[in-house]
Amino acid sequence: MKEKWLKNIKEILPYLLILFIVILVRSFIATPIKVNGTSMYTTLDGTEFMILNKLAKVNRYDIVVVDTKEEELIKRVYGFPGEKIAIENGNIYINDKKIEDPYAYGTTSDYEAITLKEDEYFVLGDNRAVSKDSRSIGPVKKSQIKGTTNFILYPFNRFGFLEKK
């Protein structure tokens, strides 16, 4: 009886190990996400399934998932802790220097200058006219950023990494 029990455990063990690894990866490393809405148009049309990388370092212009407690938003990072950010006449200024904004679609509404605190980031959607972003919700904390995403799983005709501009 004991030998049969050990044999059954040996047969099940690889499956349990695979399940454990999948749960570990999904919880701490990467997970699939669904894009909803058009706030990232023209980069994303709102129907994509992507991979969220929970370990990646956040860089300027990275696409991130932000948890606002009410919802998860997909946005692009523009401002980092300690930076002064302002939007005037549709132009973005970081530390009083105008930056290139290759991802903007539509006109970016003005935003009074602020200096981001130690743990704050400024995020914008690419489709500025419809985006709920830091202009309306304020800066986001590092703890609200769940990870970065730049890999499309679906639709299959867009499968792969997003091109940087």
Enzyme catalytic residues: 39, 75
Q: Quick one: which H or E segment has residue 149?
A: strand 145-154
Sequence letter at residue 145: I
- What's the CA gap between 23 and 115, in Å, rounded? 39
Listed in sequence order, the DSSP H helices in 1-127 are 2-28
Cis peptide bond prior to 68, omega within 30° of 0: no
